Amino acid sequence: MTLVVVPVRYPLTSHSRATLAEAIRVAEDRAADLTVLHVNLYQDNDGVTRTELKRAVEREFGQVPRTRYAVRRGFLVEETILEEVAAENADVVVIGSKQAGRWRRTLRRFLDDPDIESFLREKLDCTVITVRAD
């Protein structure tokens, strides 16, 4: 079964809504399961629950079939997302252009000129779709 993973912020921002809309479309087109992921940062001390995440998504898009909601805790959003994508063996990751930019900055610390899409494809063997909110 094909799996699409989409990381989002909570509460949903306009960028998160655009990214989520594309992920839902991709999941429907591919008859795939969808995982909506949010990362609670340890240092922020706030904890969004799966129920809150699910309610926010359903308020915006209605009930989304074949969807799983996951909330993970981590120090770095990017690292936690990569761990989830790898653990779930995702086939497609849909990220917002803002998230891709943050990943590039993070990877730039370790690599010379990282291309986040190539990096994810190489490390995780999945398709990466970047969504612009405008």
pLDDT digits (tens, 9 = 90+) for 82-103: 889 989 999 999 988 876 556 6
- The per-residue pLDDT for 108 is 60
Listed residue (48, 33, 25) closest to 3, CA to CA: 33
Token pair listed for 18: 């655009």
pLDDT digits (tens, 9 = 90+) for 24-81: 999 999 999 999 999 999 888 778 999 999 999 999 999 999 999 999 999 888 788 8
33 with 2: CB under 8 angstroms? Answer: yes
What is the C-alpha to C-alpha distance for residues 43 and 132, in angstroms, rounded to an integer?
Answer: 28
Give backbone dihedrals phi and psi of 77, rounded to 5 degrees, phi first: -60, -50
The structural domains of the chain, ordered by start, are 3-131 (3.40.50.620)
Task: Compute the CA torsion angle 61, 87, 132, 16 (nearest 10 deg).
Answer: 40
Q: Where are the alpha helices (DSSP H) in 4-109?
A: 14-29, 50-61, 77-88, 97-108
Q: What percent of the chain has pLDDT over 90?
A: 57
